[in-house]
Structure 1
């Protein structure tokens, strides 16, 4: 689904610029439970982390994040509350009809902010936006792309 802000993007490259856009057909419910599925799990009681590897898929409400490896960092006081998720390798973030790919991502579960880094590609329908990093706020559905931002817009779409 194309967003009005996205239509304001320019077609040429914008070196070292930042571009605001929207992300996701609907806002993600950041208070919903976080579900993790993977082929393997390794838990480190000493540092309060868990590492999921192999076909990792994380779901929270309508949001899905997949990666090769995800480290779960728990808040102080044990494994009852997740502080952040650090994803590495073949990262894909999907919300509604929008999808973003990157080399890595960090999801701050408490704030609902996801930062994708490394060759970020955002697709919204036939439109594509690329950059070095993208910060997504799942609560508001907004995103900002930074670093050699490029966009390709399909004419005649709403």
Structure 2
């Protein structure tokens, strides 16, 4: 921790948590700010190498990331993979809003977003007793 620089670095299996959300990486760098009372708070966390963000709904992996504590948005780059249940999306850049649970994934100039989607079993299939729209009877 460097007080004069308002900076702390964690190396190894570094983990930062906020509520049910967890950010893990090989290196986490926390940038601090001071409020009007002079109390320090984390304003931004930079993540490097083997990044994994775990939320109640999804797991997001990448090679680099920046988490803005005020907005709750993590911006991730480098081989981004978003997994939700059995479904997976792959891209180059993502914005993950940890406050709302909404993730946006973008491709690079060379390639787009790719996805693997696994349908839930027996939902909306004729003959299983469920309406075709997947709703309730």
Contact residue 34 and residue 40 of structure 2 kept, 8 A: no
* TM-score, with structure 2 as normaliser: 0.78
Aligned residue for 1:128?
Answer: 88
Task: From 32, 40, 44, give the equivalent of 2:2.
Answer: 44
Cα separation, 2, equivalents of 1:135 and 1:143: 6
User: Per-residue deviation at 1:105?
Assistant: 1.1
Cα separation, 2, equivalents of 1:55 and 1:64: 12
Task: From 43, 61, 75, give the equivalent of 2:33.
Answer: 75
User: Per-residue deviation at 1:79?
Assistant: 6.2
Provide structure 2 residue ranges, at least 5 long, that are not aligned to the other structure: 124-137
Would you identify which runs of 4 or more consecutive aligned residues in structure 1 move more than 2 Å?
A: 76-79, 155-158
Aligned residue for 1:104?
Answer: 64
| CA RMSD in angstroms, aligned pairs only | 1.6
* Deviation per residue, 1:94-148 (Å, 9 max, x gap): 0014101000111100110111110000111111101001101111111110112
Aligned residue for 2:55?
Answer: 95
Aligned residue for 1:59?
Answer: 17
Provide structure 1 residue ranges, at least 5 long, that are not aligned to the other structure: 1-42
Task: From 145, 149, 155, give the equivalent of 2:105.
Answer: 145
Paired residue secondary structure (1:133): strand
* TM-score, with structure 1 as normaliser: 0.68
Structure possessing the higher radius of gyration over alpha carbons: 2
Contact residue 92 and residue 100 of structure 1 kept, 8 A: yes
Paired residue secondary structure (1:66): strand
> Comparing both chains, which one has the higher relative contact order based on Cα–Cα distances under 8 Å and sequence gaps of 6 or more?
1
Contact residue 47 and residue 64 of structure 2 kept, 8 A: yes
